[in-house]
């Protein structure tokens, strides 16, 4: 396996190279950039395929993973203390290696189609022409983003590279590198249309602010994570996954009390503390409560590709990390009492799953629904890790990535179609308001016949999300989590079950509002199927959304279990751990319950939204049922407003008023100025002294001399002969004196 290092290093290198090539050379040409990016990602895909093949054909991959590395930072005694960087392909990594390049490639293909054209409103200030004025008095101008789009490919190439770095990293620091670069990419991509404004929607968050929000919110989690990494590194002397996680001695060593002197934190072990710090990073990255608010706003990114990145890939990184660090999180776990990090994960995950699902129910933006469903599904996985369902979490991570990617691309396809429809309608003379929102599901309806490919694939994705039994991948993975929860932690199970019901319901609501019935606007009426570059990924992903689940069917599952070869996924991924987790015995109860929940949710949704499709200007039927709760849900429990009130404004106020103006300007500078004034005062007193006493004395002397010399100044006639006469006369006198003294006396 000499080439493993090279291959593994080349996998992320190729998109990263594409990033630089596009930015430096081809950024003026959309076509060239597309080609560069496509070549890069296909190259990566091929390499990843080779590597995946190598990994799958390696026996006992768990014990002897494919690795390669080099000294990155020579520290202290170069041999023992240096920090090494390298790649690692173990079973868990192989899973990532499967779906990350796959979805990434699909995204690339899709983006080339999606980003082909587009324009939007931007605000202009100052004097000059403008195309429209909205109700808030802002001058608007149509901004043609075509020229801007080439770099989009660069950003997603960077993104893909970072995600691949993260997937292949053999240590936490390298993972963190990929992690943060993805943070940057999310910021850039969400804010891609940074100058876009929404006419007549002043309260709606703009892409620019959404990007900053995403970056900052995840950074809140990243900072503790960095501390956690530092702590782990200083405690173990290494960051290598294998050396920490595959090493019982190290794990044992980590299982000591962290703060023996602090009563409040008395019971926290080092592993627990580090685990929680790391999990904080995951909270930010995977948008768990309470740092979930950035993800829905991230939907302001170019529809829907960046959103898909955030939903399907990047957010997976958080979950991937906690799955990866599971041995650390569970250090000291005996199979029964959950460790502190696990408890936290289980509760946060479960709560998030339900909490996000409730919000999703009341959203009307096609992408926001999906965003909240993503949060909810990530909560599933986090909770799964929390209760120790390691394999199930990894399984759901994979399937969810696939079908959520499918759904987002589908929604993007829908939006694209509606936007085109709007433009068509515009050409046909229908007047459209400047604030037409192509993402609002209430502006759609009846798209089934107009965009059939999208509709079918979207339906497949939706069903997978809801866990439609047997034929969708989502069913299998979700079922495994639920089964685990059922076996270990009933509370978590029931919370997740409730979330699953809501998931099924809002999925059906979305499908109904979008595709069913008759078009509610001209735009929807004129919508047409988009081109092949956007359809191909849908089809491919739909295929995987159906069949990807069959790798992890429980051995004990009737018929299918035996047919599909005995839970390959479980054994494969399970071998990543030091001690392969035991597969649960097959149990009917959770399976039936989950089937029932999913189907009932779908049914209710069908009854409300598909059987009697909404007409134009109709209100959401839920509004009547839920009343004020609907408003609460629609406003996401007012979390944005809350955070704004307790974090954003105070920090601004503190930094401006307290730190800068009060501390720096008034106290410190004030003190300095006081000192300066004091010395100035002193100096002026000194000057007075000088002026009146010293100078007075000196001046009077000088004046006296001046007056005296005034009378002598006429001597200075400028006549050389006069001078000489006087001088010689003087000399003569002297000579006379001498003569008298020497001769006459």
Partner 1 sequence: MVITPVTIAFFIMAAFTLGGSLGVVTNRNLFHAALYLILALFGAAGLFVLLEAPFLAAVQVLIYVGAISVLIAITIMVTRRIMGVESANRQWPLSALVGLLLAATLGFVIMDRFAGKFPVAGVPDDSLTRLGMALVSYEGMEAYLVPFEVASVLLLAAMIGAIVVARK
Partner 2 sequence: MIPLHWYLLVAAGMFALGVYGVLARRNMVAIIMSIELMLNAVNINLVAFWRYMAPENLNGQAFAIFVFTVAAAEAAVGLALIISIYRARETVVAKEIDMLKW
Partner 3 sequence: MDFVRQNLLTLITFVPLAGSLVVLFLPSRSKSLIRWTTLLISLIPLGLAVQAWVWFNADPCHDLVAGACFEQQATWFPLLNSTYHVGIDGISLTMVLLTTLLTPLAIIISWSVDDRVKLYMALFLMLEMGMLGVFVSLDLLIFFVFWEIGLVPMYFLINIWGSANRQYASFKFFIYTMAGSLGLLLSIQLIGLTMGTFDLRELMVRWPALTGKLIGIDVNVIKNVAFWLFTLAFAIKVPVWPFHTWLPDAHTEAPTAGSMILAGVLLKLGAYGFLRLVLPFFPQQAHDFAPVLAVLAMLAIVFGALSAFAQTDFKRLVAYSSINHMGFVVLAIAAAGWVGLGAQYEPQSRLNAIIAVNGAVLQMFNHGLSAAAMFALVGMIYERAHTRDLTRLGGLWPVAPIYGGILLFSSMASLGLPGLNGFVSEFLVVRGVWPVGQVDQNGTSVFVLMVALSMVGLLFTGAYILKAVRHVLHGPLNREAVEMAHGRSLEINAREVIAMAPLLVLMLVIGVFPSWLVEVINQTVTKLWS
Select 683 or 729, whichever has its Cβ closest to partner 1: 729
Residues whose CB falls within 8 Å of the CB of residue 41, separated by 6 or more in sequence, listed in order: 14, 15, 18, 101, 104, 105, 108, 157, 160
The residue among 682 and 725 lying less far from partner 2, judged by its C-beta, is 725
Retrieve residue 491's tokens. 């509370």
- The answer to whether the beta carbons of residues 284 and 217 sit under 8 Å apart is yes
Contact 342, 350 (CB under 8 A): no
Stretch that binds partner 1, among 20-28, 35-43, 562-570, 732-740 (CB under 8 A): 732-740
Q: Please report whether residue 46 would count as binding partner 1 according to CB under 8 A.
A: no
* Cβ pair 451, 563 in contact under 8 A: no
Burial class (CB in 10 A: 0-12, 13-18, 19+), 59: exposed
Report the distance separating Cα 622 and Cα 179, nearest Å. 39
Determine which residue in the list 24, 264, 720, 741 makes contact with partner 2, applying CB under 8 A: 720
Chosen residue from 53, 660, 678, 681 binding partner 3 by CB under 8 A? 660
204 binds partner 3 (CB under 8 A): no
* Alpha-carbon gap, residue 686 to 694, rounded angstroms: 10
**Least distance CB 733 / partner 1 (angstroms):** 9
Euclidean distance between CA atoms 412 and 424, whole angstroms: 18
CB 711 to partner 1: min, Å: 21
How many chain residues touch partner 3 (CB under 8 A)? 71
CA distance 393 to 384: 5
Residues 431 to 470 in contact with partner 2, rule: CB under 8 A = none
Q: Which stretch binds partner 3 (CB under 8 A): 54-62, 73-81, 502-510, 710-718?
A: 73-81
C-beta closer to partner 1: residue 234 or 721: 721
Cis status of the peptide bond prior to 290, with omega within 30 of 0: yes
Is 721 one of the binding residues for partner 2 (CB under 8 A)?
Answer: yes
Q: DSSP character for 433?
A: -
Q: Supply 516's token pair.
A: 């069913």
- ∠ Cα 362 367 373 (to 5°): 65
Q: Is 718 in the site for partner 2 (CB under 8 A)?
A: yes
Q: Under the criterion CB under 8 A, does residue 729 sit at the interface with partner 1? A: yes
Q: Is 262 in the site for partner 2 (CB under 8 A)?
A: no
Q: How far apart are CA 355 and CA 657, in angstroms?
A: 36
Strand partners for 67: 88
Q: Which residue's structure tokens are 């009341």?
A: 362
Q: At what angle do helices 588-605 and 452-466 cross, to 10 degrees?
A: 140
Distance in Å, CB of 717 to partner 2, minimum = 6
Q: Hey, what are 108's tokens?
A: 């690339």
Choose, by CB under 8 A, the member of 212, 356, 366, 591 that binds partner 3: 212
For β-strands 119-123 and 83-89, DSSP reports them as unpaired
Using rule CB under 8 A, residue 245 touches partner 3: no
Q: Which residue has the tokens 């068509």?
A: 424
Q: Given the complex with partner 3, which of 26 and 521 has the nearer CB atom?
A: 26
**Binding flag, residue 266, partner 1 (CB under 8 A):** no
Quick one: which of 1, 31, 46, 73 contacts partner 3 (CB under 8 A)? 73
Q: Is the peptide bond before 325 cis (omega within 30 degrees of 0)?
A: no
Whichever of 56 and 732 has its CB closer to partner 1, that residue is 732
Q: Which residues contact 665 (CB under 8 A, 6 or more apart)?
A: none
Cβ distance to partner 3 smaller for residue 230 or 599: 230
Q: In angstroms, what is the minimal distance from the CB of 710 to partner 2?
A: 18
CA distance 75 to 81: 6
Tokens of 575: 């071998």
Instruction: Name which of 670 and 736 has its Cβ closer to partner 1.
Output: 736
* Contact status, residue 552 vs residue 472, Cβ threshold 8 Å: no
Distance CA 737, CA 695 (A): 42
Q: 195 contacts which partner out of partner 1, partner 2, partner 3, none, CB within 5 to 8 A by kind? A: partner 3
Return the structure tokens found at 685.
Answer: 């007193």
Indicate the pairing of strand 66-73 with strand 83-89. antiparallel
Among 74, 248, 696, 736, binds partner 1 (CB under 8 A): 736
Kindly state the smallest distance separating residue 722's Cβ from partner 1, in Å.
7
Site string for partner 3, 1-40 (x = CB under 8 A): ----------------------x---x-------------
Q: Which of 77, 249, 334, 617 binds partner 3 (CB under 8 A)?
A: 77
> What is the DSSP code (8-state) at residue 117?
-
What phi, psi does 89 have (nearest 5°)? -120, 100
Work out whether 646 is an interface residue with partner 2 (CB under 8 A).
no
> Whole-number minimum distance, CB 736 to partner 2, in Å?
15
Query: From residue 695 to residue 724, what is the string marking binding to partner 1 with x (rule CB under 8 A)?
Result: --------------------------xx--
User: If you search the block for the tokens 């620019």, which residue do you land on?
Assistant: 208
Q: Which of 42, 43, 132, 194 binds partner 3 (CB under 8 A)?
A: 194
Minimum CB–partner distance for residue 714 and partner 2 (Å): 12
Residue 345 binding result from partner 2, partner 3, partner 1, none, given CB thresholds of 5 to 8 Å by partner type: none
Q: Is the dihedral of CA 418, 420, 424, 430 positive or negative?
A: positive
Q: Is 81 in the site for partner 3 (CB under 8 A)?
A: yes
Q: Residue 725, interface with partner 1 (CB under 8 A)?
A: yes
Task: For residues 394 and 78, give the distance between their C-alpha atoms in angstroms, rounded to a whole number.
Answer: 37
Task: Based on the shown chain and the rule CB under 8 A, indicate whether residue 717 belongs to the binding site for partner 2.
Answer: yes
CB of 732 to partner 1, least distance (A): 5
> Which of partner 2, partner 3, partner 1, none does residue 191 bind (CB under 5 to 8 Å by kind)?
partner 3
> How is residue 638 annotated by DSSP?
G
Binding site partner of 717, from partner 3, partner 1, partner 2, none, Cβ cut-off 5-8 A by kind: partner 2
Stretch that binds partner 3, among 45-53, 185-193, 394-402, 438-446 (CB under 8 A): 185-193
Any contact of residue 666 with partner 3 (CB under 8 A)? Answer: no
When binding is defined by CB under 8 A, the residue of 9, 120, 259, 550 that contacts partner 3 is: 259
What is the DSSP code (8-state) at residue 392?
Answer: H
Residue 736 contact among partner 3, partner 1, partner 2, none, beta carbon within 5 to 8 Å by kind: partner 1
| Residue 607 to residues 360, 465, 512, 597, 601, Cα–Cα distance (Å) | 18, 19, 10, 15, 10
Can you say whether the dihedral through the CA atoms of 218, 219, 223, 229 is positive or negative?
Answer: positive
Helix (H) or strand (E) holding 88: strand 83-89
**Number of residues in contact with partner 1, rule: CB under 8 A?**
10
Count of residues of this chain found to bind partner 2 when the rule CB under 8 A is applied: 9
Q: 197 or 417: whose CB is closer to partner 3?
A: 197
Answer for which of 60, 429, 743, 745 binds partner 1 (CB under 8 A) is 743
User: What are the residues binding partner 1 (CB under 8 A)?
Assistant: 721-722, 725, 728-729, 732, 735-736, 739, 743
User: What are the residues binding partner 2 (CB under 8 A)?
Assistant: 716-721, 724-725, 728
């Amino acid at each position: 396996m000499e080439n493993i290092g090279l291959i593994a290093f080349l996998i992320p290198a190729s998109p990263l190279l594409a990033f630089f090539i596009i930015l430096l050379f081809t950024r003026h040409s959309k076509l060239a950039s597309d080609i560069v990016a496509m070549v890069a990602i296909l190259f990566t895909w091929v390499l990843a395929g080779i590597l995946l093949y190598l990994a799958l054909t390696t026996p006992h991959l768990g014990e002897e993973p494919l690795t390669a590395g080099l000294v990155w930072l020579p520290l202290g005694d170069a041999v023992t203390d240096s920090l090494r960087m390298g790649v690692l392909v173990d079973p868990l990594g192989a899973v990532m290696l499967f779906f990350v390049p796959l979805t990434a490639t699909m995204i690339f293909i899709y983006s080339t189609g999606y980003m082909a054209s587009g324009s939007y409103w931007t605000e202009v200030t100052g004097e000059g022409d403008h195309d429209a004025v909205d109700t808030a008095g802002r001058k608007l101008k149509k901004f043609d983003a075509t020229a801007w789009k080439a770099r989009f490919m660069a950003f997603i190439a960077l993104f893909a590279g970072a995600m691949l770095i993260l997937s292949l990293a053999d240590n936490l620091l390298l993972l963190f590198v990929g992690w943060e670069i993805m943070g940057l990419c999310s910021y850039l991509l969400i804010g891609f249309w940074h100058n876009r404004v929404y006419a007549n929607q002043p309260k709606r968050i703009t892409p620019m602010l959404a990007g900053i929000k995403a970056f900052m919110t995840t950074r809140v989690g990243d900072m503790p994570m960095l501390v956690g990494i530092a702590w782990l590194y200083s405690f173990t002397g290494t960051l290598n996954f294998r050396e920490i996680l595959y090493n019982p001695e190290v794990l044992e060593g980590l299982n000591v009390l962290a703060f023996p002197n602090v009563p409040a934190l008395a019971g926290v072990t080092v592993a627990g503390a580090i685990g929680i710090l790391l999990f904080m990073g995951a909270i930010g990255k995977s948008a768990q409560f309470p740092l979930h608010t950035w993800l829905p706003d991230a939907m302001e990114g170019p529809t829907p590709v960046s959103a898909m990145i955030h939903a399907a890939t990047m957010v997976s990184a958080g979950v991937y990390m906690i799955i990866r660090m599971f041995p650390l999180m569970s250090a000291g776990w005996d199979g029964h009492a959950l460790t502190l990090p696990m408890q936290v994960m289980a509760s946060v995950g479960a709560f998030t799953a339900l909490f996000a699902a409730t919000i999703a129910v009341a959203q009307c933006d096609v992408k926001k629904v999906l965003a909240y469903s993503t949060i909810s599904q990530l909560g599933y996985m986090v909770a799964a890790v929390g209760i120790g369902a390691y394999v199930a979490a990894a399984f759901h991570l994979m399937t969810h990535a696939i079908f959520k990617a499918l759904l987002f691309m589908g929604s993007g396809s829908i939006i694209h179609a509606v936007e085109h429809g709007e433009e068509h309608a515009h050409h046909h003379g229908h007047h459209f308001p400047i604030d037409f929102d192509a993402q609002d599901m209430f502006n759609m309806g009846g798209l089934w016949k107009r965009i059939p490919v999208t509709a079918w694939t979207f339906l497949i994705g939706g069903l997978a999300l809801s866990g439609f039994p047997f034929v969708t991948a989502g069913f299998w993975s979700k079922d495994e989590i639920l089964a685990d929860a059922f076996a270990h932690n009933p509370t978590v199970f029931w919370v997740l079950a409730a979330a699953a019901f809501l998931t099924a319901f809002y999925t059906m609501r979305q499908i109904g509002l979008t595709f069913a019935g008759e078009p509610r606007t001209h735009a929807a009426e004129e919508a047409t199927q988009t081109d092949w570059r956007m359809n191909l990924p849908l089809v491919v992903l739909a295929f995987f959304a159906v069949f990807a689940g069959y790798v992890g069917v429980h051995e004990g599952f009737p018929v299918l279990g035996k047919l599909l070869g005995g839970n390959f996924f479980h054994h494969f991924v399970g071998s990543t751990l030091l001690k392969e987790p035991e597969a649960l015995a097959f149990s009917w109860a959770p399976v039936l319950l989950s089937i029932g929940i999913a189907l009932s949710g779908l049914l209710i949704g069908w009854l409300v939204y598909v059987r009697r499709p909404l007409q134009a200007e109709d209100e959401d039927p839920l509004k009547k049922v839920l009343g004020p709760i609907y408003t609460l849900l629609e406003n996401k429990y007012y979390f944005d407003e809350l955070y704004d009130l307790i974090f954003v404004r105070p920090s601004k106020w503190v930094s401006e008023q307290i730190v800068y103006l009060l501390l720096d300007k008034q106290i410190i500078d004030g003190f300095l100025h006081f000192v300066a004034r004091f010395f100035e005062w002193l100096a002026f007193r000194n000057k007075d002294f000088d002026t009146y006493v010293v100078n007075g004395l000196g001046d009077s002397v000088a004046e006296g001399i001046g007056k005296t010399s005034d009378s002598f100044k006429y001597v200075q006639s400028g006549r050389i002969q006069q001078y000489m006469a006087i001088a010689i006369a003087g000399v003569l006198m002297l000579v006379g004196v001498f003569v008298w003294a020497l001769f006459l006396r």
